């Protein structure tokens, strides 16, 4: 934390990688790389039981950590100097993503002992930074045009530009009111849909011209989206909203998590970009499909998995590495993590099965979330909506 608070000294040149520096350079902007702080220190309570053993940023989307998709998008835009503002699970994230070189970015880790919220993270990491930097929620998937947002920000000489996404129902989000020039005039947190000033919400991507918080904010919890931003708007400061009309998903809930995978495997949104997807819509990454198995895309099956004769997998579905789908079993609309076993004649529909889960033969599950290492007994069900107790840590 101390090193980060010294204003980012110690950043090395970003590693060379396909696409690095792309959008910013293409637009003729002066910067070739930019800094970002990614907020990854939440507890992920809404994603329990999945997050009891896997931090939210590492839950798999297309068999890759959720965060790797956002990092890939930032790398393509030339945002490669990235501080991950984490908390208790920071070490686990560091073990998985390392220094970021494999993803074409340079990662550093700044872990909070107690949660400091977005305000604390910004104040401690960005103190002394004198160039524009991003702050981004580490649980989103988006194809927002980062280079266009930078150009928008610079053209308006904004102090702060907030990426916005339009949603049907803004009642669970921070909503903005904008004037004709896209300056944000005020914020409303989680308004009833009928009284919302717009359907444009804070998409969790913020470009700061400079840190707007003093050092005192580095030691206490605050959420800038609920405190600083409304205060700046009330003062008439130059805060602008950049309207993004493409893909944006906040992977906060189990429903959103399953959707992230279903969209990604179907090619909706940016996630398939890094995988070489065949025209057939099946990507079988070294998996074994026995003769007599029936597959319907879109489908991803990880290396070492076996789809036995007589099994049926109907896409959209994502199956991890080293899974076994037994004869006569049927999978659809589901996400299976690595090491899952679905035994003969079991049915799995609309489910998320975490690492090493087992569904016993002839069991039937709909819309269920099965935690790591758990076993659904043979012939169980039909059962729907199973979750383990969200307050309990399974052994």
Stretch that binds ligand GTP, among 93-101, 112-120, 176-184, 378-386 (CB under 6 A): 112-120
Does residue 158 bind ligand GTP (CB under 6 A)?
no
Nearer to ligand GTP, 139 or 308 (CB): 139
Residues 6+ apart with CB under 8 A from 286: 302, 303, 304
Stretch that binds ligand GTP, among 39-47, 230-238, 289-297, 370-378 (CB under 6 A): 39-47
Does residue 217 bind ligand GTP (CB under 6 A)?
no
Does residue 43 bind ligand GTP (CB under 6 A)?
yes
Footprint of ligand GTP on 115-154 (CB under 6 A): 115-117, 121, 137-139
DSSP alpha helix (H) spans, the chain: 2-5, 22-26, 50-53, 66-76, 90-97, 117-125, 146-155, 228-234, 254-265
Residue nearest to ligand GTP according to CB distances in the complex? 42
84, 105 Cβ separation under 8 angstroms:
no
Does residue 218 bind ligand GTP (CB under 6 A)?
no
Nearer to ligand GTP, 106 or 139 (CB): 139
Shortest Å distance, C-beta 335 to ligand GTP:
18
CA 385 to chain centre: 24
Stretch that binds ligand GTP, among 75-83, 84-92, 146-154, 354-362 (CB under 6 A): 84-92
3-class state of residue 127 by DSSP: coil
Q: Locate 84 and state its tokens.
A: 């991950």
Q: Please give the angle made by the CA atoms of 2, 5 and 7, to the nearest 5 degrees.
A: 130
Does residue 252 bind ligand GTP (CB under 6 A)?
yes
Asked whether the CA dihedral 9, 99, 108, 148 is positive or negative, the reply is: positive
What is the distance between the alpha carbons of residues 67 and 56, in angstroms, rounded to a whole number?
A: 9
Among 35, 56, 73, 272, binds ligand GTP (CB under 6 A): 56
Does residue 387 bind ligand GTP (CB under 6 A)?
no
Q: Phi/psi of residue 333, each to 5°? A: 50, 40
Judged by CB under 6 A, the number of residues near ligand GTP is 22
Shortest Å distance, C-beta 35 to ligand GTP:
16
Among 59, 77, 83, 85, binds ligand GTP (CB under 6 A): 85
280, 298 Cβ separation under 8 angstroms:
no
Does residue 44 bind ligand GTP (CB under 6 A)?
yes
DSSP annotation of 222: -
Does residue 311 bind ligand GTP (CB under 6 A)?
no
Nearer to ligand GTP, 87 or 317 (CB): 87
319, 305 Cβ separation under 8 angstroms:
yes
Burial class (CB in 10 A: 0-12, 13-18, 19+), 246: exposed
Nearer to ligand GTP, 100 or 339 (CB): 100
Among 24, 39, 122, 158, binds ligand GTP (CB under 6 A): 39
- Residues engaged in binding ligand GTP (CB under 6 A): 39-47, 56, 85-87, 112, 115-117, 121, 137-139, 252
């Amino acid at each position: 934390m101390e090193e980060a608070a010294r204003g980012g000294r110690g950043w090395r040149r970003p590693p060379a990688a396909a696409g690095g520096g792309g959008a910013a350079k293409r637009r003729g902007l002066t910067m070739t790389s930019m800094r970002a702080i990614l907020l990854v220190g939440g507890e992920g309570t809404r994603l329990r039981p999945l997050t009891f053993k896997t931090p939210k940023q590492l839950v798999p989307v297309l068999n890759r950590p959720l965060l790797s998709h956002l990092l890939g998008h930032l790398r393509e835009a030339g945002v490669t100097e990235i501080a991950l503002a984490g908390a208790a699970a920071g070490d686990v994230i560091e073990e998985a993503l390392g220094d970021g070189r494999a993803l074409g970015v340079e990662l550093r880790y700044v872990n909070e002992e107690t949660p400091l919220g977005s305000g604390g993270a910004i104040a401690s990491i960005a103190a002394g930074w004198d160039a524009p930097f991003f702050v981004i929620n580490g649980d989103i998937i988006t194809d927002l045009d980062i280079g266009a947002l930078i150009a928008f920000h610079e053209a308006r000489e904004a102090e702060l530009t907030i990426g916005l996404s339009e949603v049907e129902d803004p009642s669970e989000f921070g909503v903005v009111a904008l004037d004709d020039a896209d300056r944000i005039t005020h914020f409303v947190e989680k308004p009833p849909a009928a009284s919302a000033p717009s359907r444009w919400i804070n998409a969790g991507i913020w470009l700061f011209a400079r840190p707007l918080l003093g050092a005192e904010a580095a030691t206490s919890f605050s959420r800038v989206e609920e405190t600083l931003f409304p205060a700046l708007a009330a003062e008439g400061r130059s805060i602008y909203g950049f309207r993004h009309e493409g893909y944006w998903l906040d992977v906060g809930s189990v429903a959103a998590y399953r959707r992230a995978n279903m969209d990604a495997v179907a090619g909706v949104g940016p996630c398939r970009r890094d995988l070489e997807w065949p025209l057939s819509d099946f990507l079988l990454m070294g998996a074994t499909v026995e003769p007599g198995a029936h597959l319907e895309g879109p489908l991803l099956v990880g290396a070492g998995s076996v789809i036995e004769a007589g099994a049926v997998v109907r896409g959209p579905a994502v199956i991890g590495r080293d899974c076994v789908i037994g004869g006569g079993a049927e999978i659809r609309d589901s996400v299976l993590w690595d090491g899952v076993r679905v035994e003969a004649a079991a049915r799995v529909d609309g489910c998320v099965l975490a690492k090493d889960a087992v569904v016993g033969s002839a069991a039937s599950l709909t819309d269920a979330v099965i935690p790591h290492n758990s076993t659904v007994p043979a012939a169980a069900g039909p059962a729907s909506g199973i979750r383990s107790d969200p307050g309990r840590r399974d052994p």
